[in-house]
Amino acid sequence: MLDAKIPSGPLDNKWTDYKGHCKLVNPANKRKLEVIVVGTGLAGASAAASLGELGYKVKAFCFQDSPRRAHSIAAQGGINAAKNYQNDGDSVFRLFYDTIKGGDYRAREANVHRLAEVSGNIIDQCVAQGVPFAREYGGLLSNRSFGGTQVQRTFYAAGQTGQQLLIGAYQALERQVALGNVTMYTRHEMLEVVKIDGKARGIIARDLVKGNLERHFGHAVLLCTGGYGNVFYLSTNAMGSNVTAAWKAHKQGATFANPCFTQIHPTCIPVSGDHQSKLTLMSESLRNDGRIWVPKVKGDNRKAVDIPEEERDYYLERRYPAFGNLVPRDVASRAAKERCDAGHGVGTSKQAVYLDYADAIVRYGKIEAGKEGRSNVPMEEIIAMGKQVVKEKYGNLFDMYEKITGENPYEVPMRIYPAVHYTMGGLWVDYELQTTVPGLYALGEANFSDHGANRLGASALMQGLADGYFVIPYTLGNSLADEIYSKAVETSHPAFETAEKAVSDRINLLMNIKGKQTVESFHKRLGKIIWDKCGMARTKEGLEQAIKEVQALKKEFWSDVRIPGSINEMNPELDKANRVADFIELGELMCVDALNRNESCGGHFREEYQTPEGEALRDDANYMYVAAWEYKAEHEWNLHKEPLIYDVVKPSQRSYK
Amino acid sequence: MEHNNLNLTVKVWRQKNSQAKGQFESYPVKNISTEMSFLEMIDVLNEELIVEGKEPIAFDHDCREGICGMCSMYINGKPHGPWQANTTCQLHMRAFNDGDTVVVEPWRATAFPVIKDLMVDRSAFDRIVQAGGYVSVNTGNAVDGNSLPINKDKADASFAAAMCIGCGACVAACKNSSAMLFLSAKVSHLALLPQGEPERHSRVLNMVAQMDKEGFGACTNTGACEATCPKEISISNIARLNQEYLVASLVAEK
């Protein structure tokens, strides 16, 4: 059933060969072909803009009030590219290798190599659009380092790289809207995929302002709808981020791959109480200069400044001397959990570790003093100069921390704790980004393909834009070339009729439950089950228990949820209920997948499978495959395995020591 | 962090839809931790309203980390509330005192019609961008990113303008409902970069024309926009916009 359609030939020629031989659609025919793009983050906006430029008739949808709001905007740290501008030994192969290794050998070689190949083009394209990347005094682009790598290949725009890249893609998209090549539907949510003769031919969308359902035809449908991190309730995702589009696709036959591969980001602001609605990430770039530590003594209640140097445990530097504070995210997160579980956590909740800038401030201060050729500079002055440098590099992040916690991170170390951030799993796609439903594609975080079991920092922006700007314009043409004789289907077609009725019936069912409990309360309970039992550490017993709990929660949801208001109006509670209902079903599949994978790899850590030092223990003999789940019926899935074949990289125990 | 609990009265603008006539309604909220964000306080209130069988308050929000620009509440007479350089979602309850009455309204501007309660329609901003807020470069046209060095100060200034999150607080703060700060930020972002040069004149003329068409008011330099902007976009961008507009008009007349 799974044909990844990986081109033959040597790894570094595959993409070139593919581009040289894929089918093309002539300009006159492109005008007759309609493409639906759902989601307008980096993947969706770049795809919609690029396809519009090529001449396809594009309809783009987002649930926000403007495509510029998509959650790609919140990415802080940067975007990787194998430019080797720093002359520090980077290359396409290195980026490819780091990504495969970082993903703990659970990603597809061919896709990752292509990603590394087009990475440089992304930077060029963004610069041409006017994305104001950070620059050096000589006027050239600046780079910084990021977790899991030993070269400086990350391009950035202060702590707002995602924002600047998204605005670039958004502007390209709005230009196509102005030219009439793209029609934009904001405040619309996709609620069903319409299939005709086995092919995706359109969607049913709900106008979130008026509440009515709409039918939209497309020769192909692209889902660029992001990840499903909000299944955990608390995550760094935006409040609206959801799995609904991907889940509808799944129930229409698209297999869902590696749902248990979720990323817990090590540097987030800790939970402060039950009222918490979301978690805020502090960019991984902070680990470049900050040092992470906990008190050596358990339950030490002294203030951080009162704990002397020799009583601090810089546990990442101690455990991983080669990478230190820059180990990949999964490793850093688990290490923080390990210290807190062992009783060394800090803050009122004891579920936090320190991220300390004191040393960096002094170091930078001395450099500044050195630049002025001064010696014997008093420490206070050095610290003041150092703070200025840190402010320039990370000012917006420090400000954000202070607003949320009320503490000044220039004076006291930040408290951080891991939080759900990204989902490597997603809809299974082949090399062309097509799901197992013909005509239905998944781009960006919505697909599973490039990050294996753990994503490296600054690679999500790269993948979203690679898929949208440089991959889909080629691969979509390859199948649309066969569609030039297919006329647009009228939306009065019975398939649209049936799909719309199914959506409408489900909404009516939800509204008529008229139970006692709010949607939010169900979402919180789901999140707690998944976080406790399918979060940073998982066990067979816990997962089995979680499956039962989620199934019970589903029953309770469908018999006791209360949704106020009515259908044909703006009704945010109804929107949320539609999403939470799908999260519950996905939650079960995540646990099923985690239970099936009897190994630890990347973000998936089964306590039963670890090395004596507590590192993840893979089982390549039995689990070197992509687990693609086919929906059969309620609580029932078929597992399809796509073996992962490593022609070039030799999988080894990942070591950052 | 030390915290305590507050009891407050929240006086909120309720409006069923764009046609309906709206009115204020007051709700008591109890035991609000000062560690909560303002939106989490509204979440708590909404949960109570739902349980009581009432309609929750509709409001726009998404990232809740101050960057998407979706949240848009006019709190105690200020867009995004009392803190400087802040969005509503980043406003925390320690900004308030026990017993306070907090008044919450939507953005008020002809060009931003109310959709429901605190939600407004800001699509006018998208249409202004459509009028020219971009560099016309198709995917695949680009040369190497380092082939054109850009003066760091200019790149930094461009970035400072590009930080605009398009929330519309500048419009809401302005007594004329002018969108000049928003527009000038976009024009400055692109005018300061060599990539924006070829379309520099047509961009500013077309975007200003669209802004006028959308029903935004004129700028009378009161500076309320700059004072309220969550990203501290400088009013000097408006001076640059005026300059760009003047030059573009002169060139166009030739």
- Provide ipTM, 2 decimals: 0.98
We report the CATH number of the domain holding residue B26 as: 3.10.20.30
Average pLDDT over residues A267-287: 91
Residue type, B246: L
Residue A146's pLDDT band (cuts 50, 70, 90): confident
Give, for all 254 residues of chain B, the pLDDT tens digit: 567 899 999 999 999 999 999 999 999 999 999 999 999 999 999 999 999 999 999 999 999 999 999 999 999 999 999 999 999 999 999 999 999 999 999 999 999 999 999 999 999 999 999 999 999 999 999 999 999 999 999 999 999 999 999 999 999 999 999 999 999 999 999 999 999 999 999 999 999 999 999 999 999 999 999 999 999 999 999 999 999 999 999 987 65
B67: closest chain A residue by CA:
A74
Q: Do B40 and A275 touch (CB under 8 A)?
A: yes
pLDDT tens for residues A434-447? 999 999 999 999 99
Q: Does B28 share its domain with B74?
A: yes
Q: Does B127 share its domain with B101?
A: no
Average pLDDT over residues A227-236: 97
- In a domain? residue B91: yes
A167 touches chain B (CB under 8 A): yes
- In a domain? residue B133: yes
Q: Does B133 share its domain with B90?
A: no
pLDDT tens for residues A304-344? 999 999 999 999 999 999 989 989 899 999 999 999 999 99
Q: Does B79 share its domain with B157?
A: no
Residue A614's pLDDT band (cuts 50, 70, 90): confident
Question: Which of B181, B133, B132, B134 is CA-nearest to residue B161?
Answer: B181
- Least CB-CB distance to B51: which of A186, A240, A518? A518
Q: Do A403 and B92 touch (CB under 8 A)?
A: yes
Number of domains within chain B:
2
Tell me, what's the pLDDT at A650? 95
- In a domain? residue B118: no
d(Cα A443, Cα A549) in Å, to the nearest integer? 32
d(Cα A68, Cα B123) in Å, to the nearest integer? 11
pLDDT tens for residues A20-68? 999 999 999 999 999 999 999 999 999 999 999 999 999 999 999 999 9
Give the pairing type, strands A426-427 and A440-442: unpaired
Q: Do A65 and B66 touch (CB under 8 A)?
A: no
- In a domain? residue B150: yes
- In a domain? residue B98: yes
We report the CATH number of the domain holding residue B129 as: 1.10.1060.10
- Least CB-CB distance to B151: which of A139, A174, A273? A139
pLDDT at A459 over 90: yes
**Domain range enclosing B51:** 5-105
The number of residues making up chain A comes to: 657
Average pLDDT over residues A200-217: 98
Looking at the complex, report in whole angstroms how far the Cα of residue A330 sits from the nearest Cα belonging to chain B: 23
Burial of B183 (0-12, 13-18, 19+ CB in 10 A): buried
Q: Does B140 share its domain with B245?
A: yes
Tell me, what's the pLDDT at B205? 98
| Cα–Cα–Cα angle for A285, A289, A291, rounded to 5 degrees | 110
Other C-beta atoms lying within 10 Å of the C-beta of residue A393: 19
Other C-beta atoms lying within 10 Å of the C-beta of residue A635: 13
Other C-beta atoms lying within 10 Å of the C-beta of residue A627: 26
Q: How far is CA A434 from CA A3, A431, B69, in A?
A: 10, 7, 33
Top residue of A126, A154, A171 to mutate, by most chain B CBs within 10 Å, is A171
pLDDT at A285 over 90: no
Q: Helix (H, G, I), strand (E, B), or coil: what is residue A325?
A: helix
Write down which residue in B77, B105, B133 finishes a domain.
B105
Tell me, what's the pLDDT at B1? 54
Q: Does B128 share its domain with B245?
A: yes
Q: What is the dihedral of CA B221, B222, B227, B233, to 10 degrees?
A: -10
Tell me, what's the pLDDT at B252? 79
Q: Domains plus CATH for chain A?
A: 265-420 (3.90.700.10), 501-623 (1.20.58.100)
Token pair belonging to B102:
């907090």
| Contact indicator for A339, A313 with CB cutoff of 8 Å | yes
Buried-state track A361-373, b at ≥16 Cβ within 10 A, e below 16 = bebbbeebbeeee
3-state helix/strand/coil string of A43-54: HHHHHHHHHHHH
Tell me, what's the pLDDT at A77? 84
Question: Which of B69, B76, B70 is CA-nearest to residue B58?
Answer: B70
d(Cα B78, Cα B96) in Å, to the nearest integer? 14
Residue A570's pLDDT band (cuts 50, 70, 90): very high
Tell me, what's the pLDDT at B2? 65
Helix (H) or strand (E) holding B28: strand B23-33
| Contact indicator for B13, B105 with CB cutoff of 8 Å | yes
pLDDT tens for residues A477-508? 999 999 999 999 999 999 999 999 999 999 99
Token pair belonging to A202:
């359109």
- In a domain? residue B81: yes
Q: Does B162 share its domain with B189?
A: yes
- In a domain? residue B115: no
Q: Does B142 share its domain with B54?
A: no
Q: Does B95 share its domain with B46?
A: yes
Give the pairing type, strands A636-643 and A625-633: antiparallel
Q: Does B83 share its domain with B139?
A: no
Helix (H) or strand (E) holding A627: strand A625-633
d(Cα A547, Cα A589) in Å, to the nearest integer? 8
Residue A626's pLDDT band (cuts 50, 70, 90): very high
Q: Does B139 share its domain with B239?
A: yes
B153 touches chain A (CB under 8 A): no
Write down which residue in B78, B105, B132 finishes a domain.
B105
Q: Does B174 share its domain with B56?
A: no
Write down which residue in B56, B73, B105 finishes a domain.
B105
- In a domain? residue B113: no
Other C-beta atoms lying within 10 Å of the C-beta of residue A548: 12
User: For chain A, what percent of residues have pLDDT higher than 90?
Assistant: 92
- Residues on chain B touching A572 (C-beta within 8 angstroms): 56, 58
| Contact indicator for B41, B29 with CB cutoff of 8 Å | yes
Question: Which of A434, A340, A357, A430 is CA-nearest to residue A391?
Answer: A357
